[in-house]
Structure 1
């Protein structure tokens, strides 16, 4: 079946499911934070611990790079994709049973099972960023769009399940208490954490099923003769693609002199600037904001924290979808978006620093501002 410029619909669906397996397991960990912080010993410090674990797991791409350097002959991405999907699936299955398990380290209880399994998931997810794309180069270039749609679903699907799960819901109840000193009873309003409609174990069973679907889709794309008809001959097209990439980069930079030749010094300068911007954005998005999000949202209530976590995963695929229609290529446009996003991120960091008494604490607008600024930053 063909559609959309001779694109095979079944291969497209398999590609979407394959891309979905990239970060869905890690996103599923952070989605459940409103539950974890109420049951695990780290409490509201847990997001900071998990952020450090994810950053350490960035050693994954380094491992893959060293492997390719030591073993330059042949193609290894298919083996690594299989290892990534299988190890992530097994870790998610273990997480369903072991997420509450703790052990003493330095005389204090820590969520060792959650932290170790999150490291395995993060290690695999970070490697997927440099392994999945080389595998996708085996398919025709028109299937890159479905692949990125699948990567967007890796955050969207856990968020939708989380909303149905009712993560982080609380209610206030009157409780009777007895004062032994005055021999009197009195009533006190207490905040009671409501159990999720879907237990954490079954939530991870669903994520495990989605990981299996991703793995099966990879196998079909790789071995099914029907899907192989959409593969390309890499050796025949490598030089053509390399030339096309150079031309596209030159056109994007827009830095040719009067003779039509690229100004190498300006090209290098722009590349350095864009790399700095990329590092800055990723540092804020995947490091700073993940670490302080609980402190920024907790004073406004656990429901705002729930919206903060789940909403950020939903807005990612939305932003990716908008990118099909709105593409910012100019340096000024990228600069304006970076500055605007940095201002929003600064507001969140300042509110976290002011915790537990941030601005607008007595008003619901405070929580709305924190959540909306986080979502705006991720959209940019």
Structure 2
């Protein structure tokens, strides 16, 4: 009897591991997902260096955000093709194309990131912004193409693709931590500028407002008037913030991302064609893995009547109730309109394999799911759009204002910490996810409250709370970590719930993700670049002083 207990435990442990799928396939899915946002995340973690080199200066984050959101043309094109060709599984060739193009973009970034051009009298980082647009078009498509691709694999691998996507932020962040943030040194330079800068009253003048092209260099100018028998001169001391790249340069950084893209391409090809990986494939048309525990689910009489579900097996017919010949909107409505009549008949409790009822828990492992109603599904998609508007776009656009006033090391820490926490939250969802709308709503509210503190600090820039204290910088990084953890965990939980509803639900999940990110980016761009609600600070604030006795 004593020997049977360990044996039973071993069998249970083995059965539990088998239910999680093959480790090798999980690893390949993770590597495949890394390419999704690696370049954009790489740009964000490099911002402490880029903002001190490129002419946009502190407005570069909001510029990158709005340019990146034009990448939503990619998901729009993908959605249109899905609508026009509903029977064609476009996600497979689209995924291959995405990995190839993103890898090439990383290669081009490494050589062209400092190229600029002048338009309308202002200098712009034309190469950086142009490549950002191209990679954004294809990176944004991953929200739909990659998720739709996962419908061809067993549902147990769903969390792994999100873990891979989060690693697209972690890996660049870890490289950037080893790289360092570079240095900005205030160097005194003296010159005699044009007489047009001379004060009409002949007094010492402190120039605090500089031309736009000089702000990113951090010039601070002080003057001292000199009068001789022949003329009056102004001697200027210019405190210029000179930037120095770290040993691991920006070029080397993007070359590493290019190599990462090649590994992702190899992983994708193995997932498609390796025999052991093909054993984990499913027929997406039949949606055999539409629900993680399909044997425990009962279908509504309405679904049976309309032929959406097989009356004997309880499984979806013709793609989980999706007719290939119907329009896209009808497909989604048919899929989401499966009611929970069977659950109501059992007092809201699904029936387990032993015929016993078990209450649906708010947070559980990935082995229990329920059929969502139409209203609940749209509500979850709305929450997903809100989370991405706040966390994916708006917060990133104002990150520099919330953390850089505390010092470059805190800005560097905030950009790295956010990308490190992201995969941790995704990894947790492999074992436990939020399953009910109430829990997901509570987590969304908590994340929004945490984000409110960050936005408030950004609005108070250049003098946020505790700006002259170490605790202020530590506190803002703490809020960045907590906010990212909660927001990422919540949106992955929503995607996991939508995965149980079928392939088309995942396409709509990707569409909601990009819609929210787009709206958040537009709002941030208007508030930062046009309304000027967020203020930057000079690089050398302690050196704003008038100079007297220069050159005596």
Question: Is the TM value for this pair above 0.5?
Answer: yes
Count of equivalent residues: 373
1:5 correspondence with 2:18: yes
- In the superposition, the TM-score normalised over structure 1's length comes to 0.86
Aligned equivalent of 1:165: 179
The corresponding residue for 1:42 is: 56
* Aligned equivalent of 2:89: 75
1:85 equivalent in structure 2: 99
Aligned residue number for residue 66 of structure 1 = 80
How far apart in 2 are the matches of 1:254 and 1:174?
73
Q: Which residue of 2 aligns with 1:231?
A: 281
Match of 1:324 in 2: 430
Distance of 1:349 and 1:119 partners within structure 2: 26
Do structure 1's residue 379 and structure 2's residue 379 form an aligned pair? no
Q: CA deviation at 1:143?
A: 2.9
Larger radius of gyration: 2
Distance between the aligned counterparts of 1:281 and 1:309, measured in 2? 18
Determine whether 1:312 maps to 2:418: yes
CA distance in 1: counterparts of 2:449 and 2:250, whole angstroms = 35
Once the two structures are TM-superposed, the CA of residue 162 in structure 1 deviates from its matched residue by 0.4
Match of 1:273 in 2: 379
Query: Counting helix residues as a fraction of each chain, which structure ranks higher?
Result: 1
CA distance in 2, matches of 1:17, 1:99: 26
Map residues 66-215 of structure 1 onto 2, 5 A cutoff.
66-170=80-184, 193-215=243-265
Preserved contact between residue 19 and residue 147 of structure 1 (Cα < 8 Å): yes
Post-superposition shift, 1:99?
A: 0.5
Q: Residue in 1 aligned with 2:447? A: 341
Deviations, residues 46-80 of structure 1 (Å, cap 9, x unaligned): 00001111222122211101012222333221211
SS in 2 for 1:109: strand
| Unpaired runs of at least 5, structure 2 | 1-13, 192-222, 227-234, 299-335, 350-371, 487-552
Query: Are the aligned partners of 1:138 and 1:232 in contact in 2 as well (CA < 8 Å)?
Result: yes
- Cα 1:102–1:254 change in 2 (3 A) is farther
Rounded to whole Å, the distance in 1 between the matches of 2:383 and 2:88 is: 34
The partner residue of 1:282 within 382, 388, 395 is 388
2: distance between equivalents of 1:67 and 1:250?
A: 24
CA distances 1:158-213 after superposition (whole Å, capped 9, x unpaired) = 1110000012445x67868799867xx9x999866442120111111110000011
Shift of 1:287: 2.0
RMSD: 3.4
The residue that corresponds to 1:221 in the other structure is 271
- Structure 1: state its 5+ residue gaps: none
Deviation at 1:146, TM superposition (A): 3.2
Contact 1:164 1:197 in 2 (8 A): no
- 1:23 corresponds to which residue? 37
